[in-house]
Amino acid sequence: MHGSQDAPGDEAGIVEDLRHRFLERFGGTEGVRFFFCPGRVNLMGAHLDYNGGPVMPVALDHGTYLALRTRDDDRVRLAANLSSTSLEVGLRELPATATGSWADYPLGVLRHLVLEFGGDAGLEVLFGGNLPIAAGLSSSASITVGTAFAILTVWERERDLFACIRAALSGEREFVGVKCGIMDPYAVALTQPGHLLWLDCRDASFELLPLHRGAFEIAVVDSGVSRALARGAFNERVAQCAEAFERLKRACPEARCLRDVPAEVVEAEAAALGPLLLRRARHVALEVRRTFAAKHALLRGDFETLGKLISSTHESLRDLYEVSTPELDAIVDIARSWPGVLGARLTGAGFGGCAVIVFRACSSEGLASYVERGFQDRFGRKPSVYSFRSGGGPRELFPPGTVGGSERATGR
Ligand code: GLA
């Protein structure tokens, strides 16, 4: 797609840069190992995971890269390319509450791993990568799942992806304090290249659905609006949905979560809900229907319908769930006026961050510059447009014993 940018740096370049910075931050690179964990973009099922509904995320070929080695003592040192501050703490004296820094994400994971598996060796970890941060592409799950995967590997514990998911969820919910649903860690841990993850968040059952290579492509546009206030607003939406479910349970006693309450019951209970909770519950009930319809459209290769459903989701997020911004609405409107665009919506929690555009592969020429121009006319600055490919779960780069692995692992 001309005019768009691949997020900076190819894999070899990113690893060399990380190796160099590891040397600067920790001194020496002997024994260091490298890991990758993807970000994700969700196509359908917006704000359904914490309501027990289905979601349809795709893992990206961009994400978090970690350089990591064990120490002979129990000290843990954490550093990140994006921050000049680093953190040092003993494995047996990890803080019990969040510190307010970027390091809370890996610290929360580490606390969980020490409780579940015991922790025998201290660590030095440097975080880098090529994913836009706090843009709705799940940089947090990319960091937390990647941290768990890398640590379990170097501690020589079984690399169980579900253990990584548990650690990621515990770190983010209990330590960082975001009441997130299960979608993000499942998406970045389990999705395979060329597929999306169909995850039913009521019972965590999942399947991989093929993406029909070449039939449509996905671009992501960063609105550049920081999601600084997103955590509070996100937790507020979670609480509103919980309250809506409390009020709807009387009319729908068999329901186990808001996802189980049909749209007709939501409408019939409008007075009990009041206008605000009615809007939230209406979004959830209709989004559940749209997401099942999107799955069936994808399976039968009906991408027109899939695209229309994606755009309807945006309208619902804007009008009923009220998590959009003028910048995200503009990106969606501009993109949808381009021939060949099937659909567009904000992705992630909203309140800023990114929009995702789904378009016919043959119509990509000029799309990025069209969106950039249209946005610049309205807001006086250019948004970043990324062209991502679908990726798959966490992995070690050059594992010891593979070609290039031992040489790279010693840092010579
Ligand atoms: C954030 C959360 C996810 C999900 C989405 C909205 O990204 O981390 O768990 O709730 O918002 O769909």
The DSSP H or E segment spanning 84 is: strand 83-90
Question: SS3 of 22, please?
Answer: helix
Which amino acid, residue 141? A
390 secondary structure, DSSP code: B
Cα dihedral 259, 260, 264, 267 in deg (nearest 10): -50
- Long-range contacts of 25-29, Cβ-Cβ distance < 8 Å, separation of 24 or more: 25/79, 25/86, 25/126, 26/77, 26/79, 26/124, 26/126, 28/411, 29/67, 29/411
Cβ neighbours, 10 Å, residue 412: 8
| 45 Cα–ligand 1 center, Å | 10
Report the amino acid identity of residue 59. A
d(CA 218, CA 343): 10
Domains of the chain and any CATH numbers: 8-211+391-410 (3.30.230.10)
pLDDT digit of tens for each residue in the chain (412 aa)? 544 444 445 899 999 999 999 999 999 899 999 999 999 999 999 999 999 999 999 999 999 999 999 999 999 999 999 898 899 999 999 999 999 999 999 999 999 999 999 987 999 999 999 998 878 899 999 999 999 999 999 999 988 999 999 999 999 999 998 888 999 999 999 999 999 999 999 999 999 999 987 788 999 999 998 766 567 889 999 999 999 999 999 999 999 999 999 999 999 999 999 999 999 999 999 999 999 999 999 999 999 999 999 999 999 999 999 999 999 999 999 999 999 999 999 999 999 999 999 999 887 889 999 999 999 999 999 999 998 889 999 999 987 766 555 444 433 2
Report pTM: 0.93
Cβ–ligand 1 distance for 183 under 6 Å, the answer yes
Place of tokens 């019972």: 203
Give the gyration radius of the chain's Cα atoms.
Answer: 22
Residue 60 to residue 390: CA distance in whole angstroms: 5
- 406 vs 36: CA distance, rounded Å: 18
Q: Could you tell me if 355 and 344 are in contact, meaning their C-beta atoms sit under 8 angstroms apart?
A: yes
The tokens describing 102, both together, are: 């970027």
Element containing residue 85 per DSSP (H, E)? strand 83-90
User: Which atom of ligand 1 is found nearest the CA of 49?
Assistant: 10
324-363 in b/e burial notation, b at 16+ Cβ within 10 A?
A: bbebbbbbbebbbebeebbbbbbbbbbbbbbbbbbbbeeb
pLDDT digits (tens, 9 = 90+) for 352-367: 999 999 999 887 889 9
352 C-beta closer than 6 A to ligand 1 = no
Annotation says 184 is catalytic: yes
Q: Which two tokens stand for residue 109?
A: 């994971």
Q: Which of 184, 200, 222, 260 is catalytic?
A: 184
Of all protein residues, the one whose alpha carbon is nearest to atom 4 of ligand 1 is 47
- The CA 363 to ligand 1 mean position distance, Å, reads 30
∠ CA 213-57-355, nearest 5°, is 90
According to DSSP, the residues that pair with 343 across neighbouring strands are 358
The one-character DSSP state at 361 is G
Determine if ligand 1 sits within 6 Å of the CB of residue 184.
Answer: yes
Give Cα 99 distance to the centre of its chain.
22
Contact 393, 38 (CB under 8 A): yes
Distance 48 CA to ligand 1 centre (A): 8
